[in-house]
């Protein structure tokens, strides 16, 4: 009976050792599972933080672009100087063009008057040559000049 009892105790010890080993393995697996879960959770939090950071970075970049679009006082004064230079150039070109138009118009008027004068002189020359043929036509020619 003592021997059976010792065998039973021995068997119980072995069984207890096996169960303790199984418990340790189960705890290690649970620790690994817990670590995996924590790692997954941390990974999700990191991705969420990255997305939030990206959103803030885009907003910051947009604000910086908006600020950069507004010209500074130095740029505004430079634009003003350049616009005045361009205005003066355009004004000078306009004045010059106006002078050319005036010159053209006066020369065109001169041309018309000279053309009329030449036509009148040609008409007088034709009338003079025709009046030399007869005395009657000579008198008519002189009367035309008197009137």
Cα(130)–Cα(124) distance, rounded to whole angstroms?
A: 10
The secondary structure of residue 133, as a DSSP letter, is S
Domain boundary among 70, 95, 116: 70
Does 140 lie in the same domain as 114? Answer: yes
Does 56 lie in the same domain as 20? Answer: yes
Does 144 lie in the same domain as 90? Answer: yes
Domain boundary among 52, 70, 88: 70
Domain boundary among 42, 70, 98: 70
Query: Which tokens in the block code for residue 103?
Result: 């010159």
Is 80 exceeded by the pLDDT of residue 32? no
Which pLDDT score, from 0 to 100, does residue 98 have?
Answer: 98
On whether residue 126 sits in a domain, the answer given is yes
Query: Which tokens in the block code for residue 123?
Result: 């008409």
Structural domain boundaries, residue 85: 80-147
Which pLDDT score, from 0 to 100, does residue 101 have?
Answer: 98
Which segments of the chain does DSSP mark as H helices, in order? 2-69, 73-131, 135-146
Is 80 exceeded by the pLDDT of residue 30? no
Which pLDDT score, from 0 to 100, does residue 64 have?
Answer: 94
Does 26 lie in the same domain as 61? Answer: yes
Which pLDDT score, from 0 to 100, does residue 125 have?
Answer: 86
Cα(126)–Cα(134) distance, rounded to whole angstroms?
A: 14
Does 93 lie in the same domain as 61? Answer: no
Q: Domains in the chain: how many in total?
A: 2
Q: What are the angstrom distances between the C-alpha of 116 and each of 8, 122, 125?
A: 151, 10, 14
pLDDT tens for residues 91-137?
A: 999 999 999 999 999 999 999 999 999 999 998 888 777 777 778 88
Other residues' Cβ atoms within 10 Å of the Cβ of residue 130? 13
pLDDT tens for residues 63-76?
A: 999 998 999 999 99
On whether residue 75 sits in a domain, the answer given is no
> pLDDT band for position 23 (50/70/90)?
confident
Contacts of 140 (CB under 8 A, 6+ apart): 131
Does 63 lie in the same domain as 1? Answer: yes
Q: What are the angstrom distances between the C-alpha of 16 and each of 11, 19, 39, 126, 135?
A: 8, 5, 34, 152, 168
Contacts of 132 (CB under 8 A, 6+ apart): 138
């Amino acid at each position: 009976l003592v021997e059976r009892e010792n065998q039973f105790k021995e068997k119980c010890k072995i069984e207890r050792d096996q169960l303790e080993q199984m418990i340790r393995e189960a705890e290690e697996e649970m620790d690994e599972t817990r670590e995996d879960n924590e790692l997954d959770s941390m990974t999700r939090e990191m991705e969420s933080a990255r997305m939030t950071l990206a959103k803030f970075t885009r907003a910051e970049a947009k604000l910086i672009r908006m600020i950069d679009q507004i010209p500074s006082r130095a740029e505004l004064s430079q634009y003003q100087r350049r616009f005045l230079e361009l205005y003066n150039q355009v004004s000078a070109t306009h004045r010059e063009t106006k002078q050319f138009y005036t010159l053209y118009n006066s020369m065109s008027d001169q041309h018309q008057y000279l053309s009329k004068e030449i036509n009148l002189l040609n008409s007088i020359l034709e009338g003079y040559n025709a009046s030399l043929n007869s005395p009657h036509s000579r008198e008519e020619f002189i009367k035309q000049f008197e009137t």
